[in-house]
Amino acid sequence: MAVIEAERVAVEARPWWRRAWENLRSASGALLFMSPATLLVVVFFFIPVVLIIGISMTNMSTATGFQNWKWVYLENYRRILKHPNTLQVLRNTLMYVALTLAFFNVGMALVIALITTHIPRRAGLLYRALWLLPRLTPSVVYVMMWKYMAADAPYGIINRHILQPLGLATTNLLPIYPWVFVILVNGFIGASFGMVIFTSAIESIPREYLMAALVDGCTPWQRIRHVILPLIRWPLLFVTTYQTLSLLTSFEQILLLTEGQFGTMVWSLWAYERALSNYWGNFQWGFGAALATVLVLIGIVMAVVYMRYFQFEALIQEPKIETL
């Protein structure tokens, strides 16, 4: 006992830098293997984030140029808090993300994946291929298509071929139901990602589980609820998290469709507009960077919440390989 105690004292007596060095040495193999990925993350994520956070604390804009800017510290964040548009844009963003996610990127993706794995394989493949089309179409063309869909008679497809024959009043539908179109436009693109992931997840469930479920007395619906969904919980978490983050930061389709008009301004478009493309030509890089930083924070919080909700730890198995 005394010997062990003496050793412990000896270990603790060594200076902290000595111990840190020894820890580092013992982990050197692992660090070596992690270095390529670490390098990429540092160069393409960590450094830009630090730069953005840095810029967000300045008053840098077209007016100041790159020479005459000054540190303003949290001034930009104070401006965001006090800005009359902030609450509305935040509300828009959450609604846009939540509805697109629920109805399309996860909801519709899951429905398509479930349907196409329950019908003959060939038909399923064809149906899924159709859903990939919106993603394959160049976004300008794709959004133009939707604009024609919504436009007033005689050009608009819905007005001309559905509303007019029914004797209903025709009008440009985009300003009236802007959110419906924003969500449809994004959803039809976004659904295919989850669809592909969910389909392969469902197809890789061992067939005997699915057979056992039927013999145990499941209806097809009960089998989905009690067997299939629990077995694809990990892809569900992944797609939900990934698509939340990707929707939070996406603005391309909204930019092309409404440019944020008709009350469809979302956070990332706001940041883009402020920092890189506004009407007055005064690009407020500092303020835009602050907006972007807030978005990153929201994304991180959401990801943590999802991992808690889906019990991420329980989904991860201890690796069966020996550690280095």
Partner 1 sequence: MEVHLEHLTKRWGKVVAVDDLNLEIRSGEFVALLGPSGCGKTTTLLMIAGIYKPTSGYIRFDGRVVNKVPPKDRNVGMVFQSYALYPHMTVYENLTFPLKLKKVPEEEQRRKARRIAEMMGIGHLLDRYPAQLSGGQQQRVALGRALIKEPALLLFDEPLSNLDARLRLTMRAEIKRLQMELGITSIYVTHDQVEAMTLADRIAVMREGRLQAFATPEELYERPRTLFVAGFIGNPPMNFTQVEVIQQDGQYLAVNPDMRLAVDPDRGSRAAGRGRVIMGIRPEHITLARDGEPAHLEAEVYLVEPLGRDDLINARVGKETHLHFLADPALKLRIGDRVRLRVDTSRVQFFDPETEQSLLWS
Q: Can you give the binding site for partner 1, defined by CB under 8 A?
A: 206, 208-209, 211-219, 222, 226-227, 230-231, 233
Between 225 and 308, CB nearer to partner 1: 225
Q: Is the link from the previous residue into 154 a cis peptide, with omega within 30 of 0?
A: yes
Minimal CA–CA distance to 296: which of 263, 234, 258, 248?
A: 248
Residue with tokens 């939070």: 248
Between 213 and 291, CB nearer to partner 1: 213
- Min dist CB 197 to partner 1, Å, is 19
- Min dist CB 255 to partner 1, Å, is 42
Between 160 and 233, CB nearer to partner 1: 233
Contact 236, 310 (CB under 8 A): yes
Residue with tokens 């303020």: 287
- Report the C-alpha gap between 297 and 266 in whole angstroms: 16
Distances (CA, A) of 233 to 202, 228, 237, 262, 307: 11, 9, 6, 37, 11
Contact 76, 56 (CB under 8 A): yes
Contact 85, 218 (CB under 8 A): no
Contact 283, 62 (CB under 8 A): yes
Distances (CA, A) of 194 to 49, 242, 282: 28, 10, 39
Between 2 and 215, CB nearer to partner 1: 215
- Report the C-alpha gap between 252 and 186 in whole angstroms: 9
- Min dist CB 322 to partner 1, Å, is 20
Between 95 and 229, CB nearer to partner 1: 229
Specify burial of residue 262 (Cβ count, 10 A radius: 0-12, 13-18, 19+): middle
CB-side exposure of 220: number of CA atoms within 13 Å?
Answer: 5
- Min dist CB 218 to partner 1, Å, is 6
Between 230 and 319, CB nearer to partner 1: 230
Provide the token pair at 138: 């160049």
- Min dist CB 317 to partner 1, Å, is 9
- Min dist CB 209 to partner 1, Å, is 5
Between 217 and 319, CB nearer to partner 1: 217
- Report the C-alpha gap between 62 and 288 in whole angstroms: 12
- Min dist CB 122 to partner 1, Å, is 12
Between 5 and 208, CB nearer to partner 1: 208
- Min dist CB 219 to partner 1, Å, is 7
